[in-house]
């Protein structure tokens, strides 16, 4: 089944407000609207850059989506420093990354947190981009498929079929993130296929066929085409290369 590819840029903790406006404008300037008929595109700047980035995109009438990099699952209240789903929705986000490995390893986010965040997003009509992926230690131990598929099962606990269709999974092997050591297309495909198999077990083939599974980890304009050619890789979650307009747009073009 043909799934529309999704290219999402995860800016991580980069770009001050004026820098974010410049980067968004640069992307917009070299972007061709027609591409969005074939590929969905999303940028995920830091929270305080979301509104200005969205304003630039709206001004240019581009259908590039905006997503947050994280969210808290409670709608409001005494949670100092947190940002809620209604808050990111209000500034125009339609996607939100959850469970990025940096949040899991540096900020102690658990599978349960990831599940609660995904459910809160879906309840408000946003699409979670659920990140999973193994460390180098787990990969070298050999049980990486079990590890990643267990993360998928935990993330989808209690999510109904109708909502599951609005989710996205991003397979990001930790050993490939920011290291320049990309997974080979075959390595990435093996895990993305296992993720789809797990989604088929949790739901059914037709649901699993609608959920996009992205690859992330040192994806760039040089390797994107080969990775995106694999049957179960439906797009990319791009870190470093999403901070340069030319590189990010070249990856979008590789998905056309
Ligand atoms: P890099 O593309 O910089 O390796 O980052 C990948 C990533 O973590 C995207 O979420």
pLDDT digits (tens, 9 = 90+) for 221-233: 999 999 999 999 9
Query: In the structure, what pLDDT confidence band is assigned to residue 253 with cuts at 50, 70 and 90?
Result: very high
pLDDT digits (tens, 9 = 90+) for 145-196: 999 999 999 999 999 999 999 999 999 999 999 888 899 999 999 999 999 9
- CA 179 to CA 188: how far, in whole Å? 16
- Contact predicate 179/216, CB 8 Å: no
- Contact predicate 165/211, CB 8 Å: yes
pLDDT at 158: 98
Distance 78 CA to ligand 1 centre (A): 32
Q: Which atom of ligand 1 is nearest to the CA of 240?
A: 3
Structure tokens at 178: 């920011």
- Contact predicate 124/85, CB 8 Å: yes
What is the CB < 6 Å shell around ligand 1?
10, 100, 172, 177-178, 216-219, 237-241
What pairing do the DSSP bridges indicate for beta strands 5-10 and 127-132? unpaired
What is the residue with the minimal CA distance to atom 1 of ligand 1? 239
Q: What is the mean pLDDT of the chain?
A: 97
Q: Of 100, 109, 163, 189, which residue is the catalytic one?
A: 100
pLDDT digits (tens, 9 = 90+) for 114-142: 999 999 999 999 999 999 999 999 999 99
- CA 98 to CA 209: how far, in whole Å? 21
pLDDT at 65: 98
Cβ neighbours of residue 125 closer than 8 Å, sequence gap 6 or more: 89, 166
Structure tokens at 155: 């993330």
pLDDT at 243: 98
Query: What is the best residue among 68, 219, 244, 250 to mutate for testing ligand 1's pocket, by most ligand atoms within 8 Å of CB?
Result: 219
What residues does 213 pair with on adjacent strands?
A: 169
61 is catalytic: no
What residues does 40 pair with on adjacent strands?
A: 6
Q: Of 109, 134, 163, 172, which residue is the catalytic one?
A: 172
Distance 46 CA to ligand 1 centre (A): 15
Q: Is pTM beyond 0.95 here? A: yes
Query: In the structure, what pLDDT confidence band is assigned to residue 2 with cuts at 50, 70 and 90?
Result: confident
pLDDT at 1: 62
Q: Which atom of ligand 1 is nearest to the CA of 176?
A: 4
């Amino acid at each position: 089944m043909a799934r529309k590819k999704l290219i999402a840029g995860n800016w991580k903790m980069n770009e001050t407000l004026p820098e974010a406006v410049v980067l968004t404008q640069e992307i917009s300037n070299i972007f061709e609207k027609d591409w969005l008929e074939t590929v969905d595109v999303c940028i995920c700047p830091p929270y305080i850059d979301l509104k200005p980035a969205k304003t630039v995109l709206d001004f240019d009438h581009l259908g590039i989506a905006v997503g947050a990099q994280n969210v808290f699952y409670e709608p409001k209240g005494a949670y100092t420093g947190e940002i809620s789903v209604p808050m990111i929705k209000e500034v125009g986000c339609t996607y939100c990354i959850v469970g990025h490995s940096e949040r899991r390893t540096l900020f102690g986010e658990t599978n349960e947190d990831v599940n609660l965040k995904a459910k809160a997003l879906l309840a408000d009509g946003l699409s979670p981009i659920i990140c999973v992926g193994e460390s180098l230690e787990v990969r070298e131990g050999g049980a990486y498929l079990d590890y990643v598929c267990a993360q998928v099962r935990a993330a989808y606990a209690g999510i109904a079929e109708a909502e599951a269709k609005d989710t996205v999974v991003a397979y990001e092997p930790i050993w490939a993130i920011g290291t320049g050591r990309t997974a080979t297309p075959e390595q990435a495909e093996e895990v993305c296929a296992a993720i789809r198999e797990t989604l088929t077990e949790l739901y059914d083939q037709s649901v699993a066929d609608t959920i996009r599974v992205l690859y992330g980890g040192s994806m760039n304009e040089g390797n994107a085409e080969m990775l995106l050619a694999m049957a179960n890789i439906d797009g990319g979650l791009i870190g470093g290369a999403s901070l340069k307009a030319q590189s990010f747009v070249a990856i979008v073009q590789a998905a056309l």
